[in-house]
Amino acid sequence: MMATGNIWRRGLFSAASLMIMGASAALATAGAARAADSEIVVARAMDLNSLDPARAYCDTCQIYLSAVYDTLLTLAPDNKTIVPDLATSWEVSPDVTTFTFHLNPAATFSDGTPVTATDVQWSLERLKNIKGGAAYLMDSLKSIDIKDPHTLVITTKTPNSEFLGILSATYVGIINSKLAMAHGANDADTASTTDTADTWFLSHSAGSGAFTLQSYKADDALRLKRNASYWGKKAQVSGVIIKQTADAVTQAQMLQSGAADIAMQIDPDTAKTIHDANIVFTTVPSYNYVYAAFSPIAKGSPVPLTHDVREAMALAIDYKGAIDFTVGGAGNLQPSAIPNGFPGTADLPAPVTDVAKAKALLAKAGYPNGFKIGLEFPAMDVYGIDISLLAQKLQQDLAKINVSLVLKPETFNVWAGDIDSPGVPFTIGFFAPDYFGSAQYAQYFGMMAGMPWGKRAGVGTTPGLDGAAELATFNKALAAAGPAQEAAYKEIGLQMIADKIILPIVSPDLVLAYAKDISGMRYSACCNLPLAEIVKH
Amino acid sequence: MLRVILKRLILMPFLILGIVTATFVLAQFTKGNPLISIIGARALDNPDIVAAAKARWGLDKSVPQRYLIYVDNLAHGDLGTSFRTKQPVLDDLADRLPATLELVICAMIVGAVTGILLGVISAQFRDTPADHAARLFALLGSCVPMFWLGLLALFVFSVQTHLLPGPGRLDIRSDPPNTVTGFMLIDTLLAGDWDGFVDAFRHLILPSLVLGWSVTGIVARMVRASMLDVLGQDFVTMARAKGAGEGRVLFNHALRNALIPALTILGFTFAYLITGSVLVETIFSWPGIGSYAVDAARSLDYPAITGVTIVGGLGFLIANLLTDIAYAAVDPRMRSAA
């Protein structure tokens, strides 16, 4: 008994001693940084669904793909002009259906293999046939003819003045076809079920970009290293580590402690609380936005969501107040579903708040005492906006016209499924561009038959939403260029405003937070954060 | 005792199969669409893309067919491929489980040692300032939200004073050692990387203390209550009457008996923390199984959900078994009863 007691006591004291010794050792080495060169660390909540260009579809995917896979064309820093990347020059036929590209003969993949027209053809056809999230970008692809190893002609089914913009999307990255095929990739019509390369892409890259994949561990870190034999201007940093950091406050703390060099998901409110001379905050307008939307044909609405009802609810929303409430004023009003700065958005009328008119419209629609309706939304933070908070703001605003919102927060997966089937009468959603161009918005939000929100709104059955006029304008925009294209998209924008199906609420500014020894930071409409331009001094 | 252990081990596969069946069936009836994690929300209205994804991931088959395929694969050691990470679930778990175990073991050591000490002090000095202070400390451990405590700890010790490193298991800029066990402390030592070991140890301190404090709260209150009960019993009075020193009375006689209920709590807390340490893992960017479980549930990643459930179930079963063995070690009556 005595011996056992001593063991207990010794055990306790030993454990305590070990802890104290351990803590002492830790404190003794406190602040000792391990080896670091010009490698940079980006703290970010990664939403990667794949590292395969044909399967990836997410914000972080854009950062990764633009760093590792060059595209035929890319977007200039002005976020408007299409400039050469792998293609040095190109010609477009007058009917905007035939696109001839001349590849840079100096372009090589990271293993030294030249980039050829065959690789381009293979990559584009694979993107189409894999049927991943970004496959819609190749919807208009009809054929690709190879004229010589550095010249190819792409034909689209219908006129597509946005095809050059589409080719600058990061998902259209050009892959080393021989290398990928050796690891299970293919571009056949059956690729969606026969291509088995997605696991290989998780540990290897096959691009011609400024970086190559070093390693990826899901939910931990994505490591890129500089492509030492890059054919273009070499990256300024030796490597990039994107560290999974789910929480925005933790991202800020990592930046403050020096554990990270860049954080780009810090919300404006958190940014205001940080006063550190070693950290630079740059706020830039983004092309991302959060919107409210109606599905007049969805079951569950207590009243028909007629145009008058939709307009009344739209007029009751305090848009400026919503920007103050959700992002502390660091955002912009957005008139239509096409984001500010994209073709056709100049001089569109900003959304207005008019509670008296809203009440009158509601009375005219037969609901002077209002009604109660559900608002289903994804309960998550996106672009620095807490959507639950925005839902509460809408609840307060609509209460002013006696429309009582019953908030129904859901996980993203449940919400995204519900808005398609069975449908949600009133919801909140969000959107970010895949490339610079307005067609993607017309195709997603336009009141046209077959388009996602057109279907949800009941184009063809809902009064006032016949879809024909908007489709004609859209086709006109796709066949036009310059001012004519701008005018056509403006017409679509105005129609979207008049439809009162999609109500953009907040276009939040993007907070780029980084250490003061970092330069070259910018936000890109196609690539999110172009890593190759970043310099660590 | 050996017979009890063997009986438990034989029953374990059947219990796991029951857990797998229940999880599999419940997951199928959960609201939401798992395809969103695979193809993204935007492609959901494209029937070609949806059909291709369903065929590729086996979601075009009926639930009973999928269940039979899953069980067959499970029997061959295949837990399927995660919809979200696109990697075999077994590999995902093998990556993440050691990270969580390393954290939870350290937190349990912190929580058990401090909890037992505080419980003993609290009982011995009942209703004195020492008792009140110990109880307050324990209470705070139980009720202060871990995410807040984690953020505060990072702010004070990492951002302001630079005494300890920030989130992660190692300095993100350093090269991790070759994975042998997955335990960073062990792998750095096996690699002969002393700096790496110190770095890994330093990264463990804050999350272990934060997670351990919650264990402290539970254990201290349990030990205090048990100690108060035991200290009032005749054998303690007898020990004192025979002239045993107070330390010997406390640790040899009283604590040993008072520890029995605490062992149950420790066993179940350990098993719970394997999948329940998600908040600390999130705040400290710790790539463990808790955050994996939450992400799997959010994205309706059926193979990952079932894989995590198997690990969680096994954790509880093993913890239960170890608790019984520990009971027997502490209490001779249990040995004879077994």
CB B80, CB B303: distance < 8 Å: yes
CB A377, CB A428: distance < 8 Å: yes
CA separation for the pair A498, A518 (Å, rounded): 45
Decide if A253 and B117 are in contact by the 8 Å CB cutoff.
no
Domain boundaries, chain A: 59-243+517-536, 289-508
If DSSP states are collapsed to H, E and C, what string results for A227-247?
Answer: CCCCCCCCCCCCEEEEEECCC
A positions 48-87 inside 8 Å of B (CB): 49-50, 57-58
Which value, in Å, is the radius of gyration of the alpha carbons in chain A?
26
Q: Please report the pLDDT score of residue B220 as a whole number.
A: 92
Q: What Å distances lie between residue B103 and A281, B268, B309, CA to CA? A: 34, 16, 19
CB B157, CB B206: distance < 8 Å: yes
A positions 255-274 inside 8 Å of B (CB): 256-257, 259-260
Q: Could you tell me if residue B81 is inside a domain?
A: no
Name the minimum distance, in Å, from the CA of A355 to any CA of chain B.
Answer: 34
- In the predicted model, residues of chain B with pLDDT beneath 70 are 1, 332-338
Which value, in Å, is the radius of gyration of the alpha carbons in chain B?
24
Question: To which residue do tokens 């209002």 refer?
Answer: A370
Question: What DSSP state is assigned to residue A107?
Answer: -
The closest CB to that of B283, out of A1, A247, A259, belongs to A247
| Overall size of chain A counted in residues | 537
Q: Could you tell me if residue B177 is inside a domain?
A: yes
Nearest residue of A to residue B30, measured between CA atoms: A414
- From first to last of its 537 residues, what are the pLDDT tens digits of chain A? 333 334 344 444 444 444 444 444 444 443 334 434 689 999 999 888 899 999 999 999 999 999 999 999 999 999 989 999 999 999 999 999 999 999 999 999 999 999 999 999 999 999 999 988 899 999 999 999 999 999 999 999 999 999 999 999 999 999 999 999 999 999 999 998 899 999 999 999 999 999 999 999 988 999 999 999 999 999 999 999 999 998 888 899 899 989 999 998 888 888 888 888 999 999 999 999 999 999 999 998 999 999 999 999 999 999 999 999 999 899 999 999 999 999 999 999 999 999 999 999 999 999 999 999 999 999 998 988 999 999 999 999 999 999 999 999 999 989 998 998 889 999 999 999 999 999 999 999 999 988 999 999 999 899 888 888 999 999 999 999 889 999 999 999 999 999 999 999 999 999 999 999 999 999 998 999 999 999 999
CB B90, CB A202: distance < 8 Å: no
Nearest to B290 by CA among B310, B312, B306: B312
Q: Could you tell me if residue B264 is inside a domain?
A: yes
Q: Please report the pLDDT score of residue A35 as a whole number.
A: 38
Residue B233 touches chain A, beta carbons under 8 Å: no
Interface test with A, best of B83, B159, B199, B305 (most A CBs within 10 A): B159
CA separation for the pair A211, A228 (Å, rounded): 8
Q: What Å distances lie between residue B254 and B79, B248, B263, CA to CA? A: 47, 9, 15
The closest CB to that of B49, out of A131, A193, A452, belongs to A131
CA separation for the pair A464, A434 (Å, rounded): 30
Q: Please report the pLDDT score of residue A15 as a whole number.
A: 44
Question: To which residue do tokens 């929480």 refer?
Answer: A247
Q: What Å distances lie between residue B20 and A441, B27, B74, CA to CA? A: 43, 10, 10
Is ipTM over 0.95? no
Question: To which residue do tokens 């062990």 refer?
Answer: B186
For residue B318, give its domain range: 89-337
Q: What is the DSSP string of A315-357?
A: HH--HHHHHHHHHTT-EE---SSSPTTSTT-TTPPPP---HHH
Residues on chain B touching A454 (C-beta within 8 angstroms): none
Residue B3 touches chain A, beta carbons under 8 Å: no
Hey, which residues does A215 pair with through a beta bridge? A223
Decide if B87 and A132 are in contact by the 8 Å CB cutoff.
no
The per-residue b/e assignment along B196-224, b for 16 or more CB within 10 angstroms, e otherwise, is: bbbbbbbbbbbbbbbbbbbbbbbbbbbbb
Give yes or no on whether A59-243+517-536 and A289-508 have one common fold: no
CA separation for the pair A347, B337 (Å, rounded): 86
Residue A4 touches chain B, beta carbons under 8 Å: yes
Residues on chain B touching A57 (C-beta within 8 angstroms): 39-40, 42-43
Q: Could you tell me if residue B60 is inside a domain?
A: no
Interface test with B, best of A126, A257, A376 (most B CBs within 10 A): A257
Cα A326 from chain centre = 19
A positions 398-427 inside 8 Å of B (CB): 411-414, 416-417, 420
Q: Please report the pLDDT score of residue B273 as a whole number.
A: 87
Number of domains in chain B: 1
CA separation for the pair A50, A42 (Å, rounded): 19
Decide if B159 and A253 are in contact by the 8 Å CB cutoff.
yes
B positions 139-198 inside 8 Å of A (CB): 147, 151, 154-155, 158-159, 162-168, 171-174, 195, 198
Decide if B300 and A412 are in contact by the 8 Å CB cutoff.
no
Residues on chain B touching A254 (C-beta within 8 angstroms): 166-167
Nearest to A467 by CA among A489, A486, A492: A492
Decide if B162 and A15 are in contact by the 8 Å CB cutoff.
no
Q: What is the DSSP string of B208-271?
A: HHHHHHHHHHHHHHHHHHHHHHHHTSHHHHHHHHTT--HHHIIIIIIHHHHHHHHHHHHHHHHH
CA separation for the pair A460, B310 (Å, rounded): 50
Residue A241 touches chain B, beta carbons under 8 Å: yes
Q: Alpha helices of A88-201 — where are they, by DSSP H?
A: 117-130, 163-167, 177-181, 191-194, 198-201
CB B280, CB B167: distance < 8 Å: no
CB A527, CB A210: distance < 8 Å: no
CATH number, position B203:
1.10.3720.10
Q: Could you tell me if residue B76 is inside a domain?
A: no
Cβ–Cβ pairs < 8 A, chains A and B: 196
The per-residue b/e assignment along A412-441, b for 16 or more CB within 10 angstroms, e otherwise, is: bbbbbbbbbeebbbbbbbbbbbbbbbbbbb
Structure tokens at A242: 């994107």
Helix, coil or strand: residue A385: strand
Nearest residue of B to residue A14, measured between CA atoms: B113
Q: Could you tell me if residue B221 is inside a domain?
A: yes
Q: Please report the pLDDT score of residue A21 as a whole number.
A: 42
CA separation for the pair B118, B120 (Å, rounded): 5
Q: Please report the pLDDT score of residue B332 as a whole number.
A: 67
CB A134, CB A149: distance < 8 Å: no
The closest CB to that of A221, out of B44, B172, B198, belongs to B172
Q: What Å distances lie between residue A511 and A76, A98, A322, B155, CA to CA? A: 21, 40, 18, 21
Residue A25 touches chain B, beta carbons under 8 Å: yes
Q: Please report the pLDDT score of residue B247 as a whole number.
A: 82
As a CATH number, domain A289-508 is 3.10.105.10
Superfamily in which the A59-243+517-536 domain is placed by CATH: Periplasmic binding protein-like II (3.40.190.10)
Peptide bond into B165 cis (omega under 30): no
CA separation for the pair B21, B13 (Å, rounded): 12
CB A461, CB A297: distance < 8 Å: yes
Residues on chain A touching B256 (C-beta within 8 angstroms): 4, 8
Q: Please report the pLDDT score of residue A32 as a whole number.
A: 39
Q: Please report the pLDDT score of residue A12 as a whole number.
A: 41
pTM: 0.84
Hey, which residues does A514 pair with through a beta bridge? A262, A280
CB A129, CB A190: distance < 8 Å: yes
Q: Please report the pLDDT score of residue A1 as a whole number.
A: 35
The closest CB to that of B255, out of A8, A15, A417, belongs to A8
CA separation for the pair B115, B215 (Å, rounded): 7
Nearest to B314 by CA among B276, B281, B271: B271
Q: What is the DSSP string of A443-482?
A: HHHSSSTTSHHHHHHTTTTSTT---HHHHHHHHHHHH--H
Hey, which residues does A386 pair with through a beta bridge? A381
CA separation for the pair A290, A332 (Å, rounded): 11
Residues on chain A touching B46 (C-beta within 8 angstroms): 131, 135-136
CB A281, CB A511: distance < 8 Å: yes
Q: Please report the pLDDT score of residue B336 as a whole number.
A: 60
